[in-house]
Structure 1
Amino acid sequence: GRPAVVVGKPAAEFFATALRALGSRPAEAVMIGDDVEHDVLAAARHGLTGVLVRTGKFRSDTLAAASGRPDHVIDSFADLPALLDGLG
């Protein structure tokens, strides 16, 4: 009897739901993705640290034209542990 609500990135409810499931506050969370607008900058707008990874669908021209700058940009997921160590 209730209408379905479909929520995905970059909607605020997507990030709020994920944070609730993790039991985390936005300032304690990091969003890692290859889509600068829908993954990284959307997360940053909701208080998460945004990390863009230069894999998958990453394109340098998309980054140059983006509506903002990611908090961090890494070349590979292999670079993530060092970045996270530096954030902690």
Structure 2
Amino acid sequence: MLFLENAALEDFSGKHYLEDSCGLVWLNNVDMKNPNAVVVGLAPTKFTFPSLNEAFRLLLGGAKLIAIHKGRYYRQKDGLSLGPGPFVEALEYAADVKSQVVGKPERAFFLTALASIDDSLTPQQAIMIGDDVRDDVLGAINAGMHAILVKTGKYCEGDELKIPEASRNCVESFVEAVDLIEKNLVK
């Protein structure tokens, strides 16, 4: 069972998908009658009571809960909106299960991303630029990378104070982040 917007399914290139009566997406090679996992990503139009209840029941039946990430929120034109994290947490709580997170802020995610660029790179040679203090910046720091918080997107006033002083890099824009890197001033 996939909680993903249809546009996100492009990552499953070559796969076909179907939409069920709850608006949930299923890959055609997944047993729709007996799925063995609930996969949660950013899916604002899919988080309905019927779909969450169906996921809850699957989890009670032994399905695994997999979170693409547990982002708490994201920014839309009209302000901050709930990300998938609160829904993952709700399913964890209700079904008394723990999710497996495969994306940010997990250390393995950052190390896999780095290795996909160049196997010879070490985390200390990498710099993450992001607007999410928890998932981007602290996730990268916990993976051994440098990080720069930009005050754009979902940045909230005071987020930089959540970064340890020894690793704190905060700038107004992506351009300023690049300048910081070029001047070799990243902590």
TM-score higher than 0.5: yes
Question: How do residues 3-82 of structure 1 correspond to structure 2 at under 5 angstroms?
Answer: 7-23=102-118, 24-64=121-161, 66=162, 68-69=164-165, 70-82=167-179
Which secondary structure does the structure 1 equivalent of 2:182 belong to? helix
CA RMSD of aligned residues (A): 2.3
Percent sequence identity is 35
The one-letter code matched in structure 2 to 1:15 is: F
- The one-letter amino acid paired with 2:103 is G
Structure-1-length-normalised TM-score:
0.81
Higher relative contact order by CA 8 Å / sep ≥ 6: 1 or 2? Answer: 1
More strand, by proportion: 2
Stretches of structure 2 that go unaligned for 5 or more consecutive residues are 1-36, 40-65, 69-101
Measure how far apart 1:26 and its partner are. 0.3
Runs of 4+ in 1 over 2 A off after TM superposition: 3-6, 61-64, 66-71
Instruction: Count residues in correspondence.
Output: 85
Please give the alpha-carbon distance, in whole angstroms, between the structure 2 residues aligned to 1:82 and 1:68.
Answer: 21
- In our comparison, the structure showing a higher alpha carbon Rg is 2
Partner residue in 1 for 2:73: none
> Aligned with 1:50: secondary structure?
strand
- Deviations 1:36-86 (CA, angstroms, capped at 9, x unpaired): 01110110111100100000000014444x264553101011212311112
Runs of at least 5 residues in structure 1 that lack an aligned partner in the other structure: none
The C-alpha deviation readout for 1:1-41, integer Å capped at 9, x for no partner, is: xx997510011110111111111210110001001011101
SS in 1 for 2:183: helix
- DSSP 3-state at the match of 2:152: coil
